[in-house]
Chain A
Amino acid sequence: MTMRRLLMGIGLAGLAACGSGEDGRSAYPNPDPFPSTYEPYPSENMVIQGATILTGTGKRIENGSVLVLGGKIQAVGEAGELDVPRGFTVVDAEGKYVTPGIIDLHSHLGVYPSPSNASTSDGNEATSPNTAGVWAEHSIFPQDAGFGRALAGGITSLHIMPGSANLFGGRTVTVKNVPSRTVQGMKFPGAPYGIKMACGENPKRVYGSRGGPATRMGNFRGYRQAWIDAKAYKDEWDGYARSVEAGEGGKAPRRDLDKETLAGVLAGDIIVHMHCYRGDEMVQVLDMAEEFGYEVGTFHHAIEAYKVADILAENDVCAAVWADWWGFKLEAYDAVRENAALVANQPNGCVVIHSDDPNGVQRLNQEAAKAMADGRALGIDIAPEEAITWITANPAKAAGILDRTGTLESGKDADLVIWDQDPFSVYARPEKVFVDGALMFDREDETRQPVFDYELGQSALEDA
């Protein structure tokens, strides 16, 4: 994982980094055929003054200031410590809280949008256990009204994934939560791709009567055979690239989109996000990753992470969890409310609180608050400045964008939220949400609240 983290931000170039021919063109297929066209909206140079700041780095600053210059965070510190340059707009945030923009690591916004019906149900390509070659971005409906609701909840970045019907569900995509006509206009520039994989009940339920896998052991055969095939595919391309580099030329191998994604994982360019509820299965997956020389980034829906929290931490794997969901299926039966706290309590433990839900995404702060309180009840003392990392820095790390967002540190994108009070209160609401310094949501200003095409001109919404 460390290696991959180092590649963060240049991940897309990984496959194409070597094997260039004499003309400088990569022998590998273009790794970025749907490039981001996201551009930050205009922002003011400003100082947000007087707030309690939870920085996302584990620090808390009372009466703090955040300086934003050119859409980037210039400085963060105690109000008295920072000189405010001339011409900066002063935003008075006395009595309020400032946090990094909230990041949802497990979103299906856009792929299961509002309106929700068969016409828009585009999240699971449940036609084959291995659809590693599908890309979530090709399903995203940029007019999903859920993006706007999430923005009002302080969400500034989303890691959007295919569903969990398949062993290999397809590629994930990370977006800035800024409305656009196109998904390319939302894509987080430079964010690495991920792949969605699934353990356990879902694949065997979906394919049990359709040729398999029908069992958990069938799941593992499916993963392992695919990795074997992907390795051969990667070797073929690497061989071709070497011959191009040596000036020998030759015929490019035939492209296979499923294997191309898996080869990207083996090359360390694509992060593995694996839906896995049971602790015992997670440990088996870690052995499989070792067998094929790749790394698991995050186990999602890791209901039983607390049973193997030590092993996850030793392997530098994050556990993305709900605060308290349980019981909707057998593999979600052993949920405990202290799950997040028990994982965080391990040395090197990495917890992410995720939503998987267009409602829950609007209140990830409340989910983190519950998980924090439940930890305390078990004697694990977790401060708000740490718990905030579960929905900011840790999901940024897990999505491979921590070099750009997720904390309030000099040089990072000015993705941040001004809350009207302590965000770990049920009564707290974001007042202002900035993405790259641009004010994209203001609770007091309707002109700073998006209305999606689907909602426009609907009389019901005019009543609302």
Chain B
Amino acid sequence: MLKRTLIASLLLTGTALAQEGPLVITNAELHMTSEDGDVIENGQLVMRGGRIVAVGANVSQPSGATVIDAGGMPVTPGFFVPMSGIGLTEIGAVQEANDASTDNEALSAALDARDGYNEDTSVIDVTRAGGITRAYVTPDAGGTLFGGCGMVIAMERGPGSIMEGCIGQVATLGEGAARSAGGSRQAGIAMFRRALEDALLYDEDPEAYARSDHHNRLSVEDARGLAPAATGEQLLLVDVNGASDIRRVLSMKDEYELDLVIVGGAEAYRLAEDVADADVPVIINPIANLPSNFERMGSTMEAASRLADADVTVAFYDTGTGYTHNARLLPQLAGNAVASGMDHAEAMRAVTLGPATIFGVEDALGTLERGKLGDVVIWDGDPFEVTSRPLHVFIEGEEKSLENRQSKLAERYKDLGRGDRPFQYRNR
């Protein structure tokens, strides 16, 4: 997996100005205080300059610090959504407000989520109120094999929220690829290989590639877009679910030098050892248990737990409304994974350090360790419980508002009395 530098993660200037003085959270049940997922009861955490500067059971309190008493409640790293269309889809069924995918077959790998990103999307505030501080945002590989490259964002509106741009190419294999390749998996794989070969050719000699005029080749733009993934410099996130298809993808990882991530991975647990040996992380929907098609015949809610048991790096995402608008429900996914056999600390890792590691930002995010960015959430109960909510959300050491369009609407219509003025004048 790629490792990114800490310097690159400090791009959030302008949107999240770090708090001036130190901020101390006391009386906290601190989670993920190490890579091993350690929990410290009655701990303290100090943030300054946008980063965690001290954490533990006996931390000396700096003078002039703002103090927040967590009242014994859980304090966790901000949660990290590993797969979403946040900022690309304001409204799913409104074409003008949905830039997640294209029907234009002329371009695929060349697309860049940054070019479609709406930094003012209302989804950000809603998601942050759920305790999510980071997300990976990617185009969909809708009707094409490749969808373009995605990025890590901070859950904050504005131009500075893109933390790492164009760090992973997204692709679809299995049934999805068969559909876009003309009806067969063989065609999907053949096209996939040809695209990788084209990208490698481009990488070797861009000018020669541009001069060649072979039919059915990737366009110059797509070849350029795919080249970093084809050479293993960039992540390749492949949506694939069936055991047979996953086996084929793993073999291509070896054949080429792919920095592979499996997305979906409904049956990945059936070859968990192979996936672990190949050091391939899996971004999985832990509640998908329906045999809705043949490549998902083995879907089970225990899949995530079995992968984690085999030491596969796991992160959770949802494919329904939970993909973008309800990405805030990540804690519920984790809770259900626990109910299906996963260790609580392991599930905590899957919503924090797991995705940070997958996207190469584990030096900056994912645990409550000294030196990491101050993405911290104080909860009013077990974060995975459906009845728990965040009380305070910090991004890079600064407390963020939990207000959003939805909370404003609820406040506006809480009292349906006629009042002095129409609803449109209230709670503006």
Contacts and interface: CB of A to CB of B under 8 A. Distances in A.
Interface in A330-386: 330, 333-338, 342, 357-359, 362-363, 366, 369-370, 372-373, 377-378
Interface string A192-219: 0000000001000100000000000000
Interface in B254-282: 267, 270
A454 B336 contact: no
B300 A464 contact: yes
B75 interface: no
Interface in B356-412: 384-389, 406-407, 409-410
Given A114-B292, A145-B291, A335-B406, A461 B298 contact: yes
Interface stretch (A60-68, A95-103, A302-310): A302-310
Interface stretch (A76-84, A177-185, A222-230, A320-328): A320-328
Interface string A388-425: 00000000000000000000000000000000000011
Contacts of B90: 327
Contacts of B14: none
Given A328-B91, A329-B93, A359 B291 contact: no
Contact of A370 (B290, B298, B386): B386
Contact of B386 (A116, A335, A426): A426
Q: Most chain-B CB neighbours within 10 Å: which of A149, A205, A310? A: A149
Contact of A116 (B287, B293, B298, B299): B293
B389 A114 contact: no
Contacts of A338: 410, 414
Interface residues of A, number: 53
Interface residues of B, number: 48
Nearest to A146: B290
B406 A337 contact: yes
Tell me whether chain A's interface is mostly helix, strand or loop, or mixed.
Answer: loop
A460 B267 contact: yes
Interface string B318-348: 0011001110010010011011000000000
B297 interface: yes
Contact of B385 (A114, A329, A358, A426): A426
Contacts of B302: 464
Contacts of B387: 369-370, 372-373, 424-425
A326 B413 contact: no
Nearest to A115: B293
B290 A328 contact: no
B290 A359 contact: yes
A327 B409 contact: no
B123 interface: yes
**A-B pairs with lowest CB-CB distance, top 8:** A426-B335, A460-B298, A327-B325, A329-B93, A460-B297, A373-B387, A328-B92, A336-B410
Interface of A: 114-117, 145-146, 149, 201, 205, 306-310, 324-330, 333-338, 342, 357-359, 362-363, 366, 369-370, 372-373, 377-378, 424-429, 454-455, 458, 460-461, 463-464
13 contacts: A115-B293, A116-B293, A310-B416, A326-B326, A329-B94, A333-B91, A336-B410, A342-B414, A377-B389, A424-B387, A425-B386, A460-B243, A460-B298
